[in-house]
Chain A
Amino acid sequence: NAGVTQTPKFQVLKTGQSMTLQCAQDMNHEYMSWYRQDPGMGLRLIHYSVGAGITDQGEVPNGYNVSRSTTEDFPLRLLSAAPSQTSVYFCASSYSRDREGSGANVLTFGAGSRLTVL
């Protein structure tokens, strides 16, 4: 059981380049999300999805696109990279409801992707 798999682990881009961060989960989780982690700023939500075909913006969506064509995959696209997007990116997934039927969904995180934009 792989959990949440992110690729690549490291990437260096030049300003203006585009790239896609891949995220795949094998737990049949309905909910998937992308966070970025910056020093002193915790984790900030970029985009999220509550199921295939459904995506929505989080706290810091500008400069990023997502799609959710399957339950398993949730790629994050940077269309024109900027130095401000240098960060560590985490994909996380969960069931929409926990076993008690509440919305207290525990997130399972990937190992992270460290992106540097020069």
Chain B
Amino acid sequence: DAKTTQPPSMDCAEGRAANLPCNHSTISGNEYVYWYRQIHSQGPQYIIHGLKNNETNEMASLIITEDRKSSTLILPHATLRDTAVYYCIVRPYSGAGSYQLTFGKGTKLSVIP
């Protein structure tokens, strides 16, 4: 799987947009970008994924650059409950089936009142 690079930590003011970057310069054509987060010591939580188009769901938006070498997760209006470690993960998708996720160290996002 392609390696990802994320800043170790970021701060964001409550109510503002949080923009979390991820570099994945060795990503292959069949690899998707996934974002998960882990609040305190809870289980990781799926946020969003994408291949090459920008994606939006009720939790976040994902912007993937045209060359697919980097992406940004956007939390449009961060709340204190968004304080968590955010993981950017790249994995190949080859149809339905089980697969393993390779977690890095992620970015610790602190939302500040």
Do A and B actually bind? no
Chain A residues proximal to chain B, CB less than 8 Å: none
Chain B residues proximal to chain A, CB less than 8 Å: none
